[in-house]
Amino acid sequence: MVISPYRQQKIRDFLFFVLISAVMGGAFALFMTYAATGAFRAEDARYVMLGLVTGLSISTTILLLDTLYVKKSLRPLWFSFTIVPLVQTAIIVGVYGTVFVAIIGVEYMKKEAYLPQTIAFSFLLTAAMNFGSNVERLLGKHVLRGLVLGTYRSPKMENRFVMFLDLAGSTTTAERLGDIAFHAFLNDFFCDIARPIVNHGGEIYKYVGDEAIITWKERAGTKDRAALASFGAIRETVLRRSAYYAERYGVTPEFRAGLHFGPVVAGEMGLTKQEIAFSGDVMNTAARIQAECRPLGERFLVSDDALSLLCPEEPVGSSEPVGSSEPEGSAKSKGSPAVCEIVSRGRTTLRGKTREIGISAVR
């Protein structure tokens, strides 16, 4: 069984959360026993065990609840900041009481369980964790971390692959569906392409209208030619969902993309609304390459700068294995890379540019 990078990250997050919860449970129990007795005694080891087991049990229960119910669909932030912490606190109290009776004994429940403190601590902790999780979802995982740590407080240069992926025929589709239905169509599309992007090491930088901007750091993009293979993976994902789109919207998403590589400036931007922004010629050039897809009749155009890193030893015009674009865990995904053809479209001066650039079609 092949575990995708997306699923691997979920498993790592799960194990990290469980481990931290167990440690915090043990530390909280140790703190409460010390606060009550003023000393650490050998018999207090059972309370530390209580905290560890409780933290382990609670985190597993909450994560399963989140996976099976809470995160099945998007909910308002007020729900995530109030109702979810209350439900999680109720689960914590229930699990804690059960574990306490099993380890310490029911006769000590009233005197030594510290239920008010446990409820208050649990609610504050779950509220803080839900707040952080939702802010991270809104801003992006690496964005929140960068803002908190101040990584991009001073602008810095980073070599990145940049892909502009644009929904083709969106004006016609929007006119036919109407604004509300078209928004749902866009949301379904962007949600569907998120997993193949993550599986290929990409980061969704932002959505601009009907366009997604995706970036890879140099190492992530060149590994298994991920920046190149991602387009095929996105296409396969959308094709597998074509019946859903046809039934609900009467149209399957068609899209075009342009990929470029080079130095971008990354830094914090804004005052009342702050984000980590990418800027520089590479961003503009990637957008211009994508814009060439329509007049050239191509779906995916890549600059020679990007190809020189992704396929340094392969001549243009060759058929290239660029990594699997099959569903995760399928037989084809286990070592059978998808084959694409790289066809040079010559050198051209992109709109608004003065320097010629070489581009190739990836089919």
* Exposure b/e, 262-284, CB count within 10 A at least 16 = b: bebbbbbeeeeeebbbbebebbb
Same domain, residue pair 33 and 15: yes
Same domain, residue pair 99 and 221: no
State residue 328's pLDDT score.
46
User: What's the total number of domains in the chain?
Assistant: 2
What integer best gives the mean pLDDT of the chain? 81
Same domain, residue pair 150 and 161: yes
Boundary of a domain, candidates 139, 171, 201: 139
Same domain, residue pair 156 and 125: no
Read off the DSSP letter of residue 40: -
Residue 301 sits in a domain of what CATH number? 3.30.70.1230
pTM above threshold 0.85? no
Range of the domain at 178: 141-362
CA distance 243 to 249: 10
When pLDDT is cut at 50, 70 and 90, the band that residue 102 belongs to is: confident
Same domain, residue pair 69 and 170: no
Same domain, residue pair 82 and 116: yes
Same domain, residue pair 158 and 34: no
Mean pLDDT for 178-187 is: 95
CA distance 39 to 31: 10
Same domain, residue pair 199 and 347: yes
CA distance 111 to 93: 16
Same domain, residue pair 200 and 285: yes
Boundary of a domain, candidates 139, 160, 194: 139
Q: Compute CA distances 195 → 78, 154, 324, 332, whole Å.
A: 27, 31, 14, 18
Three-class DSSP labels, 134-178? HHHHHHCHHHHHHHHHCCCCCCEEEEEEEEEEEECCHHHHHHHHC
Q: pLDDT: is 241 or 130 the higher one?
A: 241
Same domain, residue pair 105 and 145: no
